[in-house]
């Protein structure tokens, strides 16, 4: 029932400041931006290859996003999976007694949406969305590749995502890891929490870029702190709204 990973949501204190990193430095084109009054957020979707990054700034203090920011600070908030029929999928989840936040679909920046309870998905907040916009895919110099999720039991967490959403399993090197999604990009990798500093839940973003030199130059202009490797960079979390971002060189087809 799931077509792809539509976006990964990041809570930020200021959409304007966050855009200087995600839009200006990484070069992710703006797809859409809007105030969503009933959710108390101003949100922006930025193209990252076949998926997107959603930035969420709370506009009042009595919302889930505002409470998240007050408790955890900026950082990874949710992953959104695209489905052609969110209403039918919601009915299926209800019939399976899956824990939900939304009992009926509502309108969001990504289209018609529902949120599952994090208790249903090993502590990960999952959104399902049926887009209602005919957006033309924007060319982006950096593309989303993978969301890394810290788990107590990566194999069981992978099975949970397979069973709930029908996500295909992707082969991964031997070891205590599992991966689901699409091997061409847009995967969820489950790893032992010890590998990601003890984090349970969303821990890091992996992205790819065909050319590293111009990307590094743009990042240096915003004083982003980086570690350099062979054809790869790792950004310190404070450079990316408290998100661990790893970018490797990759020739797009």
Give the pLDDT band (50/70/90) at residue 225. Answer: confident
Q: Is the pLDDT of residue 42 over 90?
A: yes
Q: Among residues 75, 64, 54, which one has the least CA distance to residue 202? A: 75
Kindly give, in sequence order, each residue whose CB lies less than 8 Å from that of residue 50, ignoring residues fewer than 6 positions away: 4, 137, 143, 144, 185, 186
**pLDDT averaged over every residue in the chain:** 93
Quick one: CA torsion of 239, 243, 248, 250, rounded to 10 degrees?
-110
Q: Among residues 28, 104, 4, 14, which one has the least CA distance to residue 58? A: 14
Nearest-angstrom CA–CA distance, 99 and 103: 10
| Weakest-pLDDT range from 71-75, 103-107, 172-176 | 172-176
C-alpha distance from residue 53 to each of 4, 11, 17, 144 (Å) = 14, 11, 15, 8
Query: Residue 136: its pLDDT value, please?
Result: 63
Over residues 190-200, the pLDDT tens digits come to: 999 999 999 99
Q: Is the pLDDT of residue 2 over 80?
A: yes
Nearest-angstrom CA–CA distance, 127 and 138: 22
Give yes or no for a contact between 128 and 6, defined as CB atoms under 8 angstroms apart.
no
Domains of the chain: residue spans and CATH: 4-130 (3.10.180.10), 143-249 (3.10.180.10)
Over residues 130-166, the pLDDT tens digits come to: 998 776 667 899 999 999 999 999 999 999 999 999 9
Residues of the chain with pLDDT > 90: what percent?
86
Query: Residue 133: its pLDDT value, please?
Result: 76
Q: Is the pLDDT of residue 52 over 90?
A: yes
Q: What's the chain's Rg over C-alpha atoms? A: 17
Q: Which residues pair with 9 in a beta bridge?
A: 54, 78
C-alpha distance from residue 104 to each of 89, 91, 113, 139, 179 (Å) = 11, 9, 9, 34, 30
Q: How many CA atoms lie within 13 A of 171 on its CB side?
A: 0
Nearest-angstrom CA–CA distance, 157 and 52: 23
């Amino acid at each position: 029932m799931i077509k792809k990973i539509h976006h990964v949501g990041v809570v930020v204190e200021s959409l304007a400041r966050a855009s200087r990193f995600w839009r200006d430095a990484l070069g992710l084109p703006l797809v859409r931006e809007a105030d969503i009054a009933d959710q108390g957020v101003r949100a922006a979707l930025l193209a990252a290859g076949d998926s997107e990054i959603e930035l969420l700034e709370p506009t009042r203090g009595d919302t889930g996003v505002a409470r998240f920011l007050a408790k955890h600070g900026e950082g990874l908030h949710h992953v959104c999976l695209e489905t052609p029929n969110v209403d039918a999928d919601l009915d299926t989840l209800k019939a399976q007694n899956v824990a939900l936040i939304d009992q009926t679909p509502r309108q969001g920046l990504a289209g018609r949406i529902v949120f599952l309870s994090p208790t249903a998905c090993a502590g990960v907040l999952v959104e399902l969305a049926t887009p209602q916009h005919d957006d033309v895919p924007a060319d982006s110099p950096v593309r989303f590749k993978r969301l890394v999720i810290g788990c107590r039991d990566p194999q069981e967490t992978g099975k949970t995502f397979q069973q709930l959403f029908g996500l295909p399993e992707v082969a991964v090197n031997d070891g205590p890891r599992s991966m689901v999604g699409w091997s061409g990009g847009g995967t969820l990798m489950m790893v032992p929490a010890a590998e990601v500093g003890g984090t349970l839940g969303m821990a890091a973003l992996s992205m790819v870029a065909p050319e590293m030199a111009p990307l590094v130059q743009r990042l240096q202009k915003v004083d982003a702190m980086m570690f350099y490797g062979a054809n790869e960079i790792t950004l310190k979390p404070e450079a990316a709204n408290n998100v661990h971002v790893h970018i490797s060189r990759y020739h797009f087809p």
